[in-house]
Amino acid sequence: MINKRILLIYTGGTIGMIKDKVKNTLVPFNFDELLKAIPSLKSEEVDLENVSIKNPIDSSNMNAEVWVEIATLIEDNYTNYDGFVILHGSDTMAYTASALSFMLESLNKAVILTGSQIPIGVRRSDAKENLITAVEIATSGKVHEVCIYFEDQLYKGSRTVKVNTEQFEAFESPNYPILAEAGVRIKYKKTLQKKEDKKLVVHKSLSNDVAILKFFPGITIATIKAIIDSAKGIVIESFGAGNAPTSTELSDLLNTANKEGKIMINITQCLHGSAVDGQYETSEPFGKAGVISGKDMTTEAAIIKLMFLLGQDMSSAEIKEELQKNISGEITI
């Protein structure tokens, strides 16, 4: 039997943290020590190797440069390994999963992000099970995309959000079914499909010229204008099924922003469901001002999609067209 080769990519995060005795805070520790802490990772069926990003970080410090570094590690090692497992802090894991989903075009191998809620050195840590199962999933040959594995569930990378800071069940995929469930056996769902075998294309250009505008009752026009003026691409988190205050000032502001070349996409603040064009009168200002409906995209996927498209050599019209397409499974068409 030919052993499967899996590359572990360590980025930092709670899974690899120890306590700094001086500062009394959690800091990343040497990745080789992490492997020593889980001897059961070693298997006759799996050749497991590891690499770390240059400077492991708390995931709150994640940024586009690190995403490019991770994507480049996958690109450089793509033909040498059967799958990849990325150890990552849970706080921004959904953003990184979305980013890699867009950046790794024609990916046809498993890229599984995992981590833990409790550091691996703590007795009750969830790290060991998460890591061992993530490696097993990566070797299965049944997954060919970017996913998050956490606490018995495998989620589509571009559909995942973090929903809990205190429970082991930290993530949800609110508008897309889970891809696998780990119990005594790992049960893979029918939604998993092997893709057409194409050459991997890695996109490394992302734009930070984006912002999020979240509506709340009583938000002022001055606040809305300041946020829209701050960036080229704006994700609007609106009420319910995609609604906004009925205000002539707001309509005028959105129309002006559209004429100035701003790219605006509207998603719902709700965890479940979709922004629907024209369902209520209060959604009319968006449609008339050229705001794109993000339908059932997560905030993470919407902001990353804007960063990705703004980083490409595209006109505003082309970006708006691409925003409405399903590029990496992030939107239900």
Find how far residue 256's CA is from the centre of its chain: 31
Distance CA 294, CA 275 (A): 7
Among 14, 92, 114, 298, which one carries the catalytic annotation?
A: 14
Distance CA 119, CA 31 (A): 13
Determine whether 191 is an active site residue.
no
| Tokens linked to 185 | 């056996």
* 324: nearest Cα among 313, 314, 333, 315: 333
Distance CA 304, CA 294 (A): 12
Which distant-in-sequence residues (6+ apart) come within 8 Å of 238 by Cβ?
Answer: 215, 244, 266, 267, 268, 269, 275, 283, 286
Distance CA 60, CA 91 (A): 6
Q: Where are the beta strands (DSSP E) in the chain?
A: 4-12, 17-20, 25-28, 46-57, 83-87, 104-105, 110-114, 146-150, 153-156, 161-162, 171-172, 180-182, 186-188, 201-202, 210-214, 233-238, 263-268, 292-293
The 8-class DSSP code of residue 238 comes to: E
Please, what is the Cα angle at 174 between 187 and 98, to 5 degrees? 85
Which distant-in-sequence residues (6+ apart) come within 8 Å of 296 by Cβ?
Answer: 175, 268, 273, 274, 275, 331, 332
Find how far residue 71's CA is from the centre of its chain: 13
Q: Which residues are catalytic?
A: 14
